[in-house]
Structure 1
Amino acid sequence: MQLKINPEKEIIEIVAKIMLISARTAPKAKGEDEIVTGILSPEEKEKIAKEMDFIGERGEAFKFFKRDAQNVRDSEMVILVGLNFKKPVGVNCGACGFDCNTILKQKTNEIDYLGPVCTIRAIDLGIAIGSLVSVAKEFSVDNRVMYSIGVAARKLGLMEAQIILGIPLSVKGKNIFFDRKPL
């Protein structure tokens, strides 16, 4: 029998897929699912890191993109989770600034994200993210929810979604997302 050294890294893809199951089965308003998920290939992971480095050149306020890009490179895997908003929930809560009958008729505004979107659908996204990172915690996989990864993913067109967040996963002796220093 040959000893396998550090075999825990072999299971990270399985844990990532279980995390995506958790996002899929998380509760959603009216049981309508507008959540999209994915796992980046190593090539996509590097493309995102390069785009994050580029965005980090926007100015002082965006320097954290470069720090986060290094976290992407140092992670074993990266998950994307997004909201592909198609229709409002229909309760006319007004949190998006419109009513459910007019939100889809509004001029879209694209900066880092594309809006407007139904706020309740955005809450569904938050619940899905909470569900999937709880799975990472149960398996002791270090992770961090990152706005910066999602911005780069949208700019690269990797996922059809108005809002995307990225979750890098790491299995190392020290959490790479702790004690991060700005670059």
Structure 2
Amino acid sequence: MQLNPEKEIVETIAKIMLVSARTAPKAKGEDEIITGILSSEEKEKLALEMDIIGDRGEAYKFFKRDAQNVRDAEAVILIALNFKKPAGVNCGACGYDCNSILKQKGNNLDYAGPVCTIRAVDLGIALGSLVSVAKELGVDNRIMYTIGVAAKKLGLIDGQMIFGVPLSVKGKNIFFDRKPV
């Protein structure tokens, strides 16, 4: 008999979650989403970077809390918007028109902008799709901005906006009832 084999399938579930993100609806059917699953070594490197960011001061303490969640997770998914081309609808939500957004001087903060708001919404829909799969399969997860900031700083995945989704299969959800920072 194999005892407690459920942790062995987490990487497979992560890949199924990424299928849901990939097939989620995208504006005009154009896909600028990039995904990945971290190796154990990348996961620890990411957690270390999150600890370093957490050392910046009181306002950044939550990075350290989230770094511990990364260490305790069985897997970590990265999902990013690699914005190359605006949706072409000239909605103005980004603050520009589709002809001028790519000509703007970009910033390089936690996220790199400006980005097409329609493409950012595509990323949000993809995130919602992938975490819904985890919910249906009973895998605990949480969408984390902090993971994306550290992943961007480390160059783990291309993209202007990056989020991380750690996955856990334990008797209690490690991503809730966390100590306030």
- Secondary structure of the 1:155 match is helix
Do residues 47 (structure 1) and 11 (structure 2) align? no
**2:135 aligned residue:** 137
- Secondary structure of the 2:93 match is coil
Residues in 2 aligned to 1:172 and 1:53: alpha-carbon distance in whole angstroms: 23
- Secondary structure of the 2:76 match is strand
1:5 Cα deviation from its structure 2 partner: 1.1
**1:166 aligned residue:** 164
**1:14 aligned residue:** 12
Residues in 1 aligned to 2:108 and 2:180: alpha-carbon distance in whole angstroms: 27
**2:81 aligned residue:** 83
Question: Of residues 17, 20, 23 in structure 1, which corresponds to 2:21?
Answer: 23
Percentage identity across aligned positions?
A: 78
- Secondary structure of the 2:55 match is helix
Checking the alignment, whether the CA contact within 8 Å between 1:63 and 1:182 is kept in structure 2 is no
1:33 Cα deviation from its structure 2 partner: 0.1
Unaligned runs of 5+ in 1: none
RMSD between superposed Cα atoms in Å: 0.6
1:179 Cα deviation from its structure 2 partner: 0.4
Once the two structures are superposed, what CA deviation does each residue of 1:155-174 show, in whole Å capped at 9, x if it has no partner? 00011100000000000000
- Structure 1 residue runs of 4+, over 6 Å off? none
Is the deviation greater in 4-13 or in 122-131?
4-13
Residues in 1 aligned to 2:132 and 2:50: alpha-carbon distance in whole angstroms: 26
- Secondary structure of the 1:51 match is helix
**2:32 aligned residue:** 34
Q: Give the TM-score normalised by the residue count of structure 2.
A: 0.99
Do residues 71 (structure 1) and 69 (structure 2) align? yes
**2:99 aligned residue:** 101
1:63 Cα deviation from its structure 2 partner: 0.4
Q: Which amino acid in the other structure matches residue 73 of structure 2?
A: S
Residues in 2 aligned to 1:5 and 1:69: alpha-carbon distance in whole angstroms: 29
1:182 Cα deviation from its structure 2 partner: 3.4
- Secondary structure of the 1:79 match is strand
Q: Which amino acid in the other structure matches residue 175 of structure 2?
A: F
